[in-house]
Amino acid sequence: MEKSSLERQDLNEEVRRIWDRNAEWWDDRIGDGNRFQCQLIEPATERLLEIQPGSVVLDVACGAGRFGRRMAELGAHVVAIDLSRRFIERAVARTPEHLRNIEYHVVDATDASALRALGAGRFDGAVATMALMDMAAIEPLFSALPTLLKPGGWFVFSLMHPCFQTPEASRFAVSTEREGEFEVRNGVQVSQYLTPRAWKGVGILGQPEPHYYFHRPLHLLLGCGFRHGFAVDGLEEPGLPPGAEDGRYLRWDHLPEIPPILVVRMRLCARPAGDGGGATEKR
């Protein structure tokens, strides 16, 4: 994933085009909440949030704004941004009159100066639900957050678990006979992890067009935060409880021991370490 800024711009335009194309279909399918959002992503993210009435929170890559509206209901003033104009239009359309404490903007989170223009020292915290793995670069975001956040500010993000949802990861079921009984074990087989990589896939079966995923191993993902003065002070790996077997294919509720998502809270606790703070995602 080493890209010149020109190559990155092209890729980002492609990312924007695909999300604009998928936005309405995506929101029609999951805008009112699915099992992943309601049972895994939102409860874990809410446990890690520190929203007080009047907190100012940046919602990065907000999509159609479902979680931003939840934070506004909890009393936050929310500034919600997304690369896709279509998603922002959906978010505005879905926002009821009484939620006046949300503003929406089309902003590319890979553009550090556009991010900084949202306001130095303005935010108590930032959130990005299920989005960092969809962003062509995360270094600009982590480099802008220390300017945007108040001292001690937090950044809570969820993403596809980088250890178990890697490019070409396969889910398997094996049946073993033990003393006349058949035991079935389900699992995930991972053959690529360390090398960052862009790949295309589907988040929801049937979506109009596959979208880009950007795989980053944990040392690059978290290292990016460490380099910009963040430390991890909260982490959850929720798994789906076993669900009804439908026999069609191996779904995540057949894998209750494998967490499909990772939710992390990082806190701004030091001055950025400059170039010496760990492995770098070169851009």
Ligand X SMILES: C[S@@+](CC[C@H](N)C(=O)[O-])C[C@H]1O[C@@H](n2cnc3c(N)ncnc32)[C@H](O)[C@@H]1O
Does residue 135 bind ligand X (CB under 6 A)? yes
Q: Is 46 helix (H, G, I), strand (E, B) or coil?
A: helix
Q: Is 263 in the site for ligand X (CB under 6 A)?
A: no
Residues 73-112 that bind ligand X (CB under 6 A): 82-84, 87, 108-110
Instruction: Find the part of the chain contacting ligand X (CB under 6 A) among 127-135, 164-172, 190-198, 232-240.
Output: 127-135
- Does 252 participate in binding ligand X (rule CB under 6 A)? no
Considering the rule CB under 6 A, would residue 159 count as an interface residue with ligand X?
no
Structure tokens at 208: 């109009």
CA 204 to chain centroid, in Å, comes to 15
> Nearest-CB residue to ligand X?
63
**Residues contacting ligand X: total by CB under 6 A:** 21
Amino acid at position 268, single letter: L
| Residue 46 C-beta: closest distance to ligand X, Å | 13
* Piece in contact with ligand X (CB under 6 A), picked from 128-136, 168-176, 181-189, 239-247: 128-136
Q: Which is nearer to ligand X, 62 or 240 (CB)?
A: 62
Three-class DSSP category at 177: strand
Nearer to ligand X, 15 or 221 (CB): 15
* 120 CB neighbour count, 10 Å cutoff: 13
Sign, CA dihedral 85-87-90-94, equals negative
* Residues 184-243 close enough to bind ligand X by CB under 6 A: 203
Element containing residue 197 per DSSP (H, E): strand 197-201
* Residue position matching structure tokens 């995540």: 252
The binder of ligand X chosen from 130, 148, 160, 222 (CB under 6 A): 130
Residue 33's region, left for phi above 0, alpha for psi from -120 to 50, else beta, is: left
Length of the chain: 283
* Member of 49, 77, 104, 134 binding ligand X (CB under 6 A): 134
Taking CB under 6 A as the rule, does residue 129 contact ligand X? yes
Contacts of 223 by beta carbon, 8 Å cutoff, 6+ apart: 277, 278, 279, 280, 281
**Does residue 145 interact with ligand X by CB under 6 A?**
no
DSSP 254: G
Contact between 61 and ligand X (CB under 6 A)?
A: yes
> Which residues of the chain form contacts with ligand X (CB under 6 A)?
12, 15, 19, 61-63, 66-67, 82-84, 87, 108-110, 129-131, 134-135, 203
